[in-house]
């Protein structure tokens, strides 16, 4: 019943993908608003990432209305950038970048609206890429193609087998299968809960590792992806906001990686480095003037 009511609005058959996109939209909006509690410098990065998540989720949800939505959003964001940039410029606080971005967006809508919409469609994804031709409202396949489709069953099966064999054992699911979106949504909710419990610093690599295990990713790739997640969260912790290492609800702060390194790793590494300096690097440095004379 609900799906029948939503289908004319979306102009496509609602699936679990739309539920997941709504979850991303709500999460991104919540994180954007929640980042206002940070200082101005610390709030900039999480607000940019959360804002991009919310905007892209919204654009994919309304992908059948991009001809209208893209120009409207471009004008709204362009006008906002012009306004805030003008205020900063009049207050002698810069604002040139925002003025340039705002003017560029407005100019793109006025002079290159068709190209802007086409580029946005290719970037966000055509509905055919997600749902297929049979899922679009009003796109009934001609009767003449039925025989061709029946005759191509074997070829399609062979292509599907090749696709599955090339997927590297990654989890793939049909658009109507709720397992993929449900698990991904559950992981995202778990990530949020874990962030409030132990902080984003360690919740990020745990989330990445959990997703890699669920996707049956091979160990080297999963470990590399988890390490990249830890590196990104640590850079955010070290450069922008150190409070992400603390659980916002529990006030519990696990020991950060730099402290762990100083207490446990550095005492083991320093003797090795001293040996390398004495027996490897210093002899090489001593040989450099002699090598220069020979040359």
234-256 pLDDT tens trace:
887 887 667 778 887 788 888 88
Classify residue 197: in a domain, yes or no: yes
Residue bearing the bigger pLDDT, 177 or 29: 29
* pLDDT on residue 191: 86
| Residue for token pair 């995202």 | 188
pLDDT score of 79: 92
Round to whole Å and give the CA distance between 58 and 21.
8
pLDDT band, residue 67 (cuts 50/70/90): confident
Take residue 153 and report the two structure tokens written for it: 């069953």
Tell me the DSSP string of 72-130: HHHHHHHHHHHHHHHHHHHTTS--HHHHHHHHHHHHHHHH-HHHHHHHHHHHH--HHHH
Transcribe 33-44 into DSSP letters: HHGGGS-HHHHH
- Measured CA to CA, the distance from residue 231 to residue 238 in angstroms comes to 10
Mean pLDDT calculated for residue range 42-67? 83
23 burial (CB, 10 Å; 0-12 / 13-18 / 19+) is middle
What is the predicted pLDDT for the residue at 294? 53
pTM over 0.85: no
Alpha helices in 176-246 (DSSP H): 179-198, 200-214, 219-235
Asked if residue 248 is part of any domain, the answer here is yes
Q: Is residue 129, in this structure, part of any structural domain at all?
A: no
- The answer to whether residue 162 sits within a structural domain is no
For 183-215, what is each residue's pLDDT tens digit? 877 888 888 888 888 888 899 899 989 988 888
- The reported pLDDT for the residue numbered 182 is 76
Please give the angle made by the CA atoms of 74, 79 and 80, to the nearest 5 degrees.
100
Does the pLDDT of residue 133 top 50, yes or no?
no
Q: Is 272 found in the same domain as 213?
A: no
Within 8 A by CB and 6+ apart from 183, the residues are 214
Percentage above 70 pLDDT, the chain: 74
Instruction: Report percent pLDDT > 90 for the chain.
Output: 5
Domain count, the chain: 2
76, pLDDT greater than 60: yes
Q: Are residues 222 and 289 in the same domain?
A: no
As a whole number of angstroms, the distance between CA 99 and CA 28 comes to 26
Q: How many CA atoms lie within 13 A of 120 on its CB side?
A: 25
pLDDT at 155 > cutoff 70: no
Residues 229 and 270 in one domain: no
The answer as to whether 211 is a domain residue is yes
CB-facing half-sphere around the CA of 39: CA atoms within 13 A: 7
169: pLDDT strictly greater than 50: no
pLDDT given at position 130: 40
Residue 10 within any structural domain of the chain: no
CB 81 within 8 A of CB 105: yes
Report whether pLDDT(46) > 50: yes
Rounded to 5 degrees, what are φ and ψ at 136? -85, 135
Average pLDDT, the chain: 76
pLDDT at 228 over 60: yes
Of 42-46, 114-118, 199-203, 220-224, the least confident: 42-46
Q: Is residue 3 part of a domain?
A: no
Residues 240, 272 within the same domain: no
Residues 48, 35: contact at Cβ < 8 Å?
no
Categorize the per-residue pLDDT at 75 as very low, low, confident or very high, splitting at 50, 70 and 90: very high
What range does the domain containing 204 cover?
A: 178-254
Per-residue pLDDT band for 85 (boundaries 50, 70, 90) equals confident
Sort 114 into a burial class: Cβ within 10 Å, 0-12 / 13-18 / 19+.
exposed
Backbone angles phi, psi at 236, to 5 degrees: -65, -40
Residue 184: inside a domain: yes
Q: How far is CA 149 from the centre of its chain?
A: 37
């Amino acid at each position: 019943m609900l799906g029948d009511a939503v289908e004319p609005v979306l102009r496509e058959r609602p699936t679990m993908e739309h539920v997941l996109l709504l979850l991303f939209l709500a999460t991104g909006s919540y994180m954007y608003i929640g980042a206002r509690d940070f200082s101005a410098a610390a709030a900039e990065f999480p607000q940019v990432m959360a804002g991009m998540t919310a905007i892209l989720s919204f654009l994919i949800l309304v992908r059948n209305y991009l001809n209208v939505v893209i120009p409207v959003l471009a004008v709204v964001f362009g006008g906002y950038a012009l306004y805030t940039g003008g205020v900063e410029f009049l207050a002698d606080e810069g604002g040139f970048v925002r003025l340039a971005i705002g003017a560029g967006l407005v100019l793109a809508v006025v002079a290159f609206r068709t190209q802007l919409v086409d580029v946005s469609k290719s970037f966000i994804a055509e509905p055919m890429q997600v749902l297929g031709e049979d899922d679009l409202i009003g796109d009934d396949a001609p009767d003449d193609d039925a025989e061709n489709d029946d005759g191509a069953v074997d070829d399609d099966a062979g292509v599907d087998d090749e696709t599955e064999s090339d997927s590297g054992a990654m989890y793939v699911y049909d658009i109507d299968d709720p397992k993929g979106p449900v698990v991904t949504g559950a992981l995202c909710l778990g990530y949020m809960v874990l962030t409030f419990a132990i902080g984003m610093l360690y919740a990020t690599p745990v989330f990445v590792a959990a997703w890699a295990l669920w996707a049956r990713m091979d160990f080297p790739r999963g470990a590399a992806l988890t390490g990249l997640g830890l590196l990104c969260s640590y850079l955010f912790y070290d450069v922008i906001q150190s409070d992400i290492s603390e659980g916002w609800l529990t006030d519990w702060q696990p020991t950060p990686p730099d402290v762990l390194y100083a207490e446990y790793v550095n005492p083991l590494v320093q003797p090795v480095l001293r040996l390398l300096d004495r027996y490897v690097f210093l002899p090489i440095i001593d040989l450099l003037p002699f090598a220069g004379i020979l040359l």
